[in-house]
Amino acid sequence: MTSFDYIVVGAGSAGAVVAARLAESADNKVLLIEAGGSQKHMNVRVPAAFSQQFKTKLDWGYFSEPEQYLGGRRIFMPRARMLGGCSSMNAMIYIRGNRADYDSWAKDGATGWSYADVLPLFRMSENNSRGADDYHGDDGPLYVQDLRSPNEMSRRIVEAIAATGLDSNDDFNGAGQLGTGLYQVTQRRGMRWTTADGYIDPARKRGNFNVLTNTLVLRVRIENGAAVGVEAERDGRPGFIRATKEVILSAGAVNTPQLLMLSGIGPADHLAEHGIATIVDNPNVGGHYMDHPMYLINMETTVQGTLHEAQSPKWLLTYLTRRTGLLTSNIGEAGAFFHTRPGDAAPDMQYICAPGYFYDHGFRTHPSPALGIGCSLVGARSTGHVRLRSSDPKEQPAITANYLKEPEDMQAMITAVERAREAFASAPLRGLVGREIHPGGDTSSREPLDKIIRREVEHTYHPACTARIGTESGGVVDPQLRVHGLQRLRVADASVFPAIPHGNTHAPTVMAGERAAVMIAAGG
């Protein structure tokens, strides 16, 4: 293989960004490496089909270890394996998190990551169909638009949540996050818009930008305390690719700590178990795993025009000819942010609401139309970890999420379920909803709700914090995203978050890519 100035590992929500931005300077020779292939598949392009990517060649298809607090269940954890990463697989909801997230990061030592610091980066990346203002940009690579064909029942659900006492909010990324409304999505004219579309495709026109797909990075090579390149395998053939300036890991909150540990960077005792020589002993690598557990409530409905009808040939034709209709839905069209407990600076609960049935990651169906409210605990306090199963880079890592370990997490989830039931029973939906499918049964008190939530809870696909910003004793990278104890190695993805943001993680991960590129360009 050959030599480059910068090697970026992982072409996802952050990696695509940092690689494309670095290539804006003609002086930089940049290589972006992706384990998967193209994102140009129908199940990627058609928004409503996102869950049909799960357990296919586009998905790493991870499962957690048996989860102690969920009755020993192993939880399915899809992670995209293609250009654009999880921006090619997610539900396209554009949420940045809360102002308090970033200010708390900065207060705790992540200098340069306050809300005032990162807001210009959000605006720089964004191309918002509503236009530019103090909070939004309109000329960035990432298209953010209102839903093209919002479902009438999504509007009704918003009215129903408002009837429980929440104010309306038409911009969760503006002056305040609290309230209920329809989400904006990363789409363009009814099609999914990924970081591969916005960043990689334009960058390919530059002679200094190179993309290597279907290539598995096995480890980072470290010599004399510095990253000098990566060992990688393509078509069964291993090789070494040199980086003369830096290696940037953007492989995500699961694969990045796996790569660090395979490279000798991690807890020394754990590395020794797998015969890996320790280069940097850092017990924080793979630790502090955070995600947003989510419990889905589904109610039968009598109305027509829900996503129950989305697979009709009529709607496929409408989508193919006009880019409108049910197939433009991101499923979770509407939502809300609110507090279930006092004292939190940011709302700890997010609703993700669907004009259709969604359960078991979309693998299960229901014979009649339904409506769903997902209770996503964005203020979760439980943490887990990522560890190696072996020294084989091709073996999936061991993920323990510890969902609902902390008692306050379960209490928040039960409160959210109770409030969702109030919304379904309110005037805007009265007469339109029937039998409760999930949780259903005798769950009118907190004890049976606790049991059924542990039996059925899933998550919001938001792993983070496994290579977090912090001191050498408490983190993996410094505020400039440089790996402690080494030179010429950085991390830029959701793993660097000191704590998980209160909301969907795609937009903050794009921002982290922008931040990394700015710091590298500035010589930081």
Catalytically active residues, by annotation: 462
Which has the closest alpha carbon to 407: 462, 360, 454, 346?
454
Distances (CA, A) of 282 to 246, 277, 287: 20, 13, 10
* Residue type for position 199: Y
Tell me which DSSP letter residue 66 carries. P
Q: How far is CA 213 from the centre of its chain?
A: 21
- CA 250/CA 484 separation, integer angstroms: 16
- CA 228/CA 240 separation, integer angstroms: 10
Residue 505's contacts (CB-CB under 8 Å, 6 or more residues apart) are 462, 464, 494, 497
CA angle 425, 178, 330 (to 5 degrees): 70
Compute the radius of gyration of the chain from its Cα atoms: 22
SS3 281: strand
Cα distance between the two ends of the chain: 29
Cα dihedral value 219, 31, 14, 108, nearest 10:
60
- CA 163/CA 147 separation, integer angstroms: 23
Question: 36: which 2 tokens?
Answer: 């998967």
- CA 485/CA 284 separation, integer angstroms: 13
Q: How far is CA 124 from the centre of its chain?
A: 20
